[in-house]
A and B are shown apart, each in its own frame.
Chain A
Amino acid sequence: MYHGHNIREGRWFTVVVILNHITEVQLLDRYTAKKPAIGTLYLTATHLIFVETSCNTRKETWIIHHHIATVEKLPLTGTGYPLNISCKNFHVVHFVIPSERYCQDVYHSLLRLSQPAKLEDLFAFLYNPKQDEDDRRNGWGFIDSAMDFKRMGLPNEFWELTDLNKNYELCSTYHSELGIPKTARKDTVLGSAKFRSRGRLPTLSYYHKESNGAICRCSQPLSGISARCLEDEEMLQAISRANPNSTFMYVVDTRPKLNAMANRAAGKGYENADNYSNIRFQFVGIENIHVMRNSLQKLLEVCAMKSPTMSDYLTGLENSGWLRHIKAVMDAGVFLAKAVADEKASVLVHCSDGWDRTAQVCSLASILLDNFYRTIKGLMVLIEKEWISMGHKFTQRCGHVDGDPKEVSPVFTQFLECVWNLMEQYPCGFEYNEKYLLEIHNHVYSCQFGNFIGNCQREREEMLKEKTFSVWPFLWENRQQYINPLYKCSLGREVLRPSTLPLNFKFWCGMYNHFDKGMQPKQSILDHLLTIIQKRVEGEKKMTDFQRVSRYRFV
């Protein structure tokens, strides 16, 4: 819906080719028995658009095809053929189409358009906001995750950046520049990479200047039942020694212990603490992508209940297990932050492949530890660094193209939800507001920009940066909307120590019921504050202009 304004502003009118339109379509309200809206449904190459004709003001609903998760035809009702569409941004619309043939047409078109077979057919390759080619190119340089290492103080006496992965030979799913301990020799790094699943060797995620503690990430070791690897053991030792403030380091396996043990039979597994000196090994029990996918499914079923009682709703919420998973991720993030800030220890985190749970936990801990990531630009850097460049498989997890549905999982959504829970606990602690998270979430799935397409940096390097736009300059341009007026930078470098009691984890109505306006607060404190601040700024500007003019006149 949000990019609709671009089209109406005529910035890339040529793209909108109406493939089909159907009149007398009804749009039903999801919750109430209110009279359905009647209007015309337009199918374009990129969007499904409903224009209401039953009311005086022109009301439009825009759905980008890539947001569509499922399309469902229901049996004929008295008024026509129902077509239910659920979107990845949790927008759910129920149309009733007057003729069966039309319904069939739309249904098949949407199936085809929502999940193309090839990446090249995604919207991002079509999207062209008529920008200069130089601007487009520069846009990709707007956020540079390597710069963030500089901000943390790298290189320093303990850590440095290596280009051992510059041709993605060491690890095909990592970024080309990796932070490693200064004392790690080349053969240590190479050997360790060989001993880690998919070559995802231990590398620096966040370095905490104040304590010298570091958060490192990797994938599971190929330890099997009894295998060991001296280079990997040396690598961990090097990480541990890079922190003079602690005699030990934590190794955190974010999986439940049972899952990790099952992996041993397949030649993978977890570190045997006897082989590694001075490590403290810990499981934190975050469930895998399949459990998370099913849990979200159950949560959405709760959202779809028509006028549930409070008991139905709370019981459904409990049975979905969703908030339990959110808390598990948060608990792990808090554990990391405490280890680094309070115990001044370094932590190495992994799960199986180290691109889902590990990304969640490392990025969350970074937010807790460092105020920079609580700013608008900082969150971009964090997502670029921990998710995009470290190989979170956005294409598969988001189901951008037709593929294995078992690879789809709301891992990134969960991360945003953890951040939202933190924002609820610290209303003055973040520079950005809820809208920012929602907008990022929208764009992760919209495929309008190239950032969240592809499964790793190498894939992106090859085609996206040449042919698509980056989302970050676009969000930065609109940053005024994403400001939290209550933000107090005075909180400074303070480490957040959130309470993780269960009652602090709330259902995120703004995300899952975002399109059910009736359920949101009817007035928004945020919008109100942003408006009065805006007015104030304008007023002050006028006043100074006026004074400048009058001074000029009277002097």
Chain B
Amino acid sequence: MEFSEHIKTANVEDVVLRRPFYQPTKGTLCVTGHHLIFSNRGGDSARPFLLLLRNIDAIEKSVENLLGYSRLFSSTGQSQRPSVSSGTITLKCKDLCVLQLDIPGMEECLNIASSIESLSSLETVSEMYPFFYRPPFLSLQDQWGLSSTEQHYAQMKEIHDGWRVSQVNRDYSVSPSYPPAVIVPHSIDDETLVKAARFRQGGRFPVLCYYHRETGTVIMRSSQPLSGANRKRCREDELLLQAVIDGSELGYIIDTRSSQQAQQARMTGGGFESKSCYRGWKRLHRQLEKGKVLQESLIKLVEACGDQSHSVDRWLSKLENSKWLSHVQTALSTAGLVAECVERDGHSVLVHGSEGTDTSLLVSSLAQLILDPDSRTLAGFLGLLEREWVQAGHPFQQRCAHSAYSHVRLRHEAPVFVLLLDCVWQLARQFPLAMGFSEPLLLRLAKEVYASDYGTFLCNSDQERCVTGVKERTHCLFQSLLRANERQHYSNPLYERTELAIWPSIQPPSLQLWKGLFLQWTDDALHLVEAQKVIQNLVSQCHRPLNEKVENTDG
């Protein structure tokens, strides 16, 4: 299919663009297969403004025929030129930016609007922009992704005795959403894994995600067991979990559903690990919201942030009503619980909810950030995201199809990844020296996950990425972020590695609205950005070799 079919009007002159931080400017608007391009005629030095169509969440248009108006309202009025009509398109983007285009000509306006509507909602992965993005500084020959399961395993010498890499999912037949290789207990063979996988939703049997050196305990994740209404058992699944806590007397299963939800899940074939079948495993329930509830929470929060009314009471009640900060609190406290089990009590933990592709990943990755200094470096954090989200099969395409502004009926959308980024921001706010990466990285990720030049967040699983050729035909965001100049920009100038766990406070006053994200298009954000720059300069001044300055003053 050709993109041109969707483009009824490719070029319009004399369009006025209004966007945050800039004066309204007049210029030429051009619609291409993947972008809106706006170029300012006069300003030759200014680069054209480029907007990825994929970034557009909602489009609102209003057209008016000024001829009609002038007849109605101006009695003396021949001042208006006859037959002037125009339209206004409001674009609400997934990165929460809102822009407006004033387009002369009603027909042009409608044409542009309909082109944007159809092009921004194209769903064929291989037609998306990452397949066309070819920047000069990247080569398709480069490795796609930072590390594979095998490489990750190879680096962790200390687990080689107890754990092995299994290729049982090499053709994605055991679990379509798992990567080809996973880390499992040494004593469990592939045959057992295959059988255990049949007992877990989506074949997501328990796999290792983190090994804690000091205590020798681990964090595992999986999906729910399919025990169903008649409490089915699976010997192999029990063996697998037995092998995890081998020797030690206790492990914890953190179920990210309420116990009632877990009970109800049995009616639809799901369930939970019963005490009698899984000896030594203790189950705790911590309900984390996901899916539609989470999506609606984001929508309400963004709506509240855009409220221009001047009532504090109204703002606080809207903030409360959105429940977003409650979700942040629950996610961090559950992650803290997991980390506590591992570090303070020395017990292994298995995390799962139902599918094991959303809240489980949220909790396991936050727990790792709390515990593991390696995951708090820039490269370490990106590596964590790659392992725990991209490879682990978080369905990015479904979850991030729409953001907070969309009017379309929601299907599988849920801002789980944005919630993760918010929680990471809260951690970084409470421990401003402990993270190797900076707030701009989190903001960049929050943008890229919805609309990107890169292929990293395309598709819903590793399998899909292989089928569509993402790894061969698109560039990897994480690789790109680690290039020297980008690395500089996304590093935390205050970073000082700490080997200790960072325990966040989850008391409500300790958790704050993430202004950098939710208010990033207001003037407020400008002051914060300025402050970050000043910090950067200060630190680099203080760390400059001493003699440099002295020489200068001498000269």
Q: Which residues of A contact B317 (CB under 8 A)?
A: 314-315, 318
- Interface digits, A499-518 against B, CB 8 Å rule (1 contact, 0 not)? 11111111101001100101
Residue of B nearest to A521 (CB): B430
Do the beta carbons of A308 and B508 come within 8 Å of each other?
yes
Do the beta carbons of B434 and A523 come within 8 Å of each other?
yes
Given A315-B320, A485-B538, is A428 in contact with B494 using a C-beta cutoff of 8 Å?
Answer: no
Most chain B CB within 10 A, of A318, A513, A528, is at A318
Do the beta carbons of B434 and A425 come within 8 Å of each other?
no
- Interface residue? A311 (CB, 8 A): yes
Do the beta carbons of A521 and B550 come within 8 Å of each other?
no
Residue of A nearest to B498 (CB): A523
- Interface digits, B312-337 against A, CB 8 Å rule (1 contact, 0 not)? 11111101100101100100000000
Do the beta carbons of A523 and B432 come within 8 Å of each other?
yes
Residue of A nearest to B496 (CB): A528
Do the beta carbons of B508 and A310 come within 8 Å of each other?
yes
- Interface residue? A12 (CB, 8 A): no
With both chains docked as a complex, state the minimum distance between the C-beta of B447 and any C-beta of chain A, in angstroms: 21
Do the beta carbons of B508 and A499 come within 8 Å of each other?
no
Do the beta carbons of A428 and B510 come within 8 Å of each other?
no
Do the beta carbons of A318 and B550 come within 8 Å of each other?
no
Given A318-B317, A428-B530, A540-B546, is A502 in contact with B311 using a C-beta cutoff of 8 Å?
Answer: yes
Complex Cα gap A323–B507 (Å): 19
Question: Which of A303, A503, A506, A512 touches B519 (beta carbons < 8 Å)?
Answer: A503
Do the beta carbons of A522 and B430 come within 8 Å of each other?
yes
- Interface digits, A6-42 against B, CB 8 Å rule (1 contact, 0 not)? 0000000000000000000000000100000000000
- Interface digits, A409-432 against B, CB 8 Å rule (1 contact, 0 not)? 000000000000000011111000
Do the beta carbons of A486 and B538 come within 8 Å of each other?
yes
Residue of A nearest to B324 (CB): A310
Complex Cα gap A543–B553 (Å): 12
With both chains docked as a complex, state the minimum distance between the C-beta of A92 and any C-beta of chain B, in angstroms: 14
Complex Cα gap A324–B316 (Å): 10
Question: Which of B314, B509, B527, B550 touches A427 (beta carbons < 8 Å)?
Answer: B527
Question: Which of A311, A506, A516 touches B320 (beta carbons < 8 Å)?
Answer: A311
Given A310-B326, A428-B527, A528-B433, is A509 in contact with B305 using a C-beta cutoff of 8 Å?
Answer: no
Complex Cα gap A31–B323 (Å): 23
Complex Cα gap A500–B431 (Å): 29
- Interface residue? A273 (CB, 8 A): no
Q: Which residues of B contact A519 (CB under 8 A)?
A: 505, 507, 509-510
Do the beta carbons of A314 and B508 come within 8 Å of each other?
yes
- Interface residue? B232 (CB, 8 A): no
Do the beta carbons of B502 and A499 come within 8 Å of each other?
no
- Interface residue? A532 (CB, 8 A): yes
Q: Which residues of B contact A310 (CB under 8 A)?
A: 320, 323, 325-326, 329, 508, 511
- Residues facing B in A305-328 (CB within 8 A) are 307-315, 317-318, 321, 323-324, 327
Q: Which residues of B contact A318 (CB under 8 A)?
A: 312-313, 316-317, 320
- Interface residue? A59 (CB, 8 A): no
Complex Cα gap A427–B524 (Å): 10
With both chains docked as a complex, state the minimum distance between the C-beta of A535 and any C-beta of chain B, in angstroms: 7
Complex Cα gap A504–B314 (Å): 13
With both chains docked as a complex, state the minimum distance between the C-beta of A304 and any C-beta of chain B, in angstroms: 12
Q: Which residues of B contact A327 (CB under 8 A)?
A: 310, 312
Question: Which of A518, A523, A524 touches B507 (beta carbons < 8 Å)?
Answer: A518
- Interface digits, B34-60 against A, CB 8 Å rule (1 contact, 0 not)? 000000000000000000000000000
Complex Cα gap A31–B528 (Å): 32
Do the beta carbons of A522 and B542 come within 8 Å of each other?
no
Q: Which residues of B contact A525 (CB under 8 A)?
A: 432-433, 494, 535
- Interface residue? B147 (CB, 8 A): no
With both chains docked as a complex, state the minimum distance between the C-beta of A524 and any C-beta of chain B, in angstroms: 8
- Interface residue? A536 (CB, 8 A): yes
With both chains docked as a complex, state the minimum distance between the C-beta of A525 and any C-beta of chain B, in angstroms: 5
Complex Cα gap A529–B541 (Å): 11
- Residues facing A in B92-143 (CB within 8 A) are none
Complex Cα gap A315–B315 (Å): 11
Do the beta carbons of B534 and A486 come within 8 Å of each other?
yes
Do the beta carbons of B509 and A513 come within 8 Å of each other?
yes
- Interface residue? A230 (CB, 8 A): no
Q: Which residues of A contact B326 (CB under 8 A)?
A: 309-311
- Residues facing B in A471-509 (CB within 8 A) are 485-486, 488, 499-507, 509
- Interface residue? B539 (CB, 8 A): yes
Q: Which residues of A contact B508 (CB under 8 A)?
A: 308-310, 312-314
Do the beta carbons of B316 and A502 come within 8 Å of each other?
yes
With both chains docked as a complex, state the minimum distance between the C-beta of A294 and any C-beta of chain B, in angstroms: 16
Q: Which residues of A contact B430 (CB under 8 A)?
A: 521-523
Complex Cα gap A532–B310 (Å): 41
Do the beta carbons of B538 and A533 come within 8 Å of each other?
yes
Do the beta carbons of A522 and B549 come within 8 Å of each other?
no
Q: Which residues of A contact B522 (CB under 8 A)?
A: 499
Do the beta carbons of B531 and A501 come within 8 Å of each other?
no
Given A314-B508, A425-B524, A502-B312, is A486 in contact with B539 using a C-beta cutoff of 8 Å?
Answer: no
Q: Which residues of B contact A539 (CB under 8 A)?
A: 546
- Interface residue? B512 (CB, 8 A): yes
Complex Cα gap A321–B522 (Å): 26
- Interface residue? B429 (CB, 8 A): yes
- Interface residue? B513 (CB, 8 A): yes
- Interface residue? A131 (CB, 8 A): no
Complex Cα gap A331–B524 (Å): 17
Q: Which residues of A contact B524 (CB under 8 A)?
A: 425, 499, 504
Q: Which residues of B contact A524 (CB under 8 A)?
A: 432
- Interface residue? A544 (CB, 8 A): yes
Complex Cα gap A539–B534 (Å): 21
Q: Which residues of A contact B314 (CB under 8 A)?
A: 502
Do the beta carbons of B323 and A311 come within 8 Å of each other?
yes
- Interface residue? B79 (CB, 8 A): no
- Interface residue? A547 (CB, 8 A): yes
Do the beta carbons of A503 and B315 come within 8 Å of each other?
yes
Most chain B CB within 10 A, of A307, A486, A502, is at A502
With both chains docked as a complex, state the minimum distance between the C-beta of B371 and any C-beta of chain A, in angstroms: 15
- Interface digits, B531-555 against A, CB 8 Å rule (1 contact, 0 not)? 1001100110111001101100010
Question: Which of B320, B433, B509, B531 touches A507 (beta carbons < 8 Å)?
Answer: B509
With both chains docked as a complex, state the minimum distance between the C-beta of B376 and any C-beta of chain A, in angstroms: 13
Complex Cα gap A324–B313 (Å): 7
Do the beta carbons of B512 and A31 come within 8 Å of each other?
no
With both chains docked as a complex, state the minimum distance between the C-beta of A403 and any C-beta of chain B, in angstroms: 32
Do the beta carbons of B502 and A522 come within 8 Å of each other?
yes
- Interface residue? B523 (CB, 8 A): yes
Complex Cα gap A270–B184 (Å): 80
Question: Which of A312, A502, A513, A523 touches B315 (beta carbons < 8 Å)?
Answer: A502
Q: Which residues of B contact A547 (CB under 8 A)?
A: 550, 554
- Interface residue? B76 (CB, 8 A): no
Complex Cα gap A390–B523 (Å): 36
Q: Which residues of A contact B535 (CB under 8 A)?
A: 486, 525, 529
Q: Which residues of B contact A502 (CB under 8 A)?
A: 307, 309-312, 314-316
Extra A-B contacts (4), CB below 8 Å, given A503-B315, A512-B509:
A426-B527, A429-B527, A543-B546, A543-B547
Jot down 24 A-B pairs with beta carbons below 8 A, ordered by A: A309-B329, A309-B508, A310-B320, A318-B316, A318-B320, A425-B524, A425-B527, A427-B528, A427-B534, A485-B538, A488-B534, A499-B523, A501-B308, A502-B309, A502-B310, A502-B311, A504-B524, A513-B509, A519-B509, A522-B430, A523-B431, A532-B539, A540-B549, A543-B550
Among all A-B residue pairs, the 8 with the closest Cβ atoms: A502-B315, A313-B508, A427-B531, A314-B320, A318-B316, A310-B326, A324-B312, A502-B312
Interface, chain A (partner B; CB < 8 A):
31, 303, 307-315, 317-318, 321, 323-324, 327, 331, 425-429, 485-486, 488, 499-507, 509, 512-513, 516, 518-525, 528-529, 532-533, 535-536, 539-540, 543-544, 547
Interface, chain B (partner A; CB < 8 A):
304-305, 307-317, 319-320, 323, 325-326, 329, 429-434, 494, 496, 502-503, 505, 507-513, 519, 522-524, 527-528, 530-531, 534-535, 538-539, 541-543, 546-547, 549-550, 554
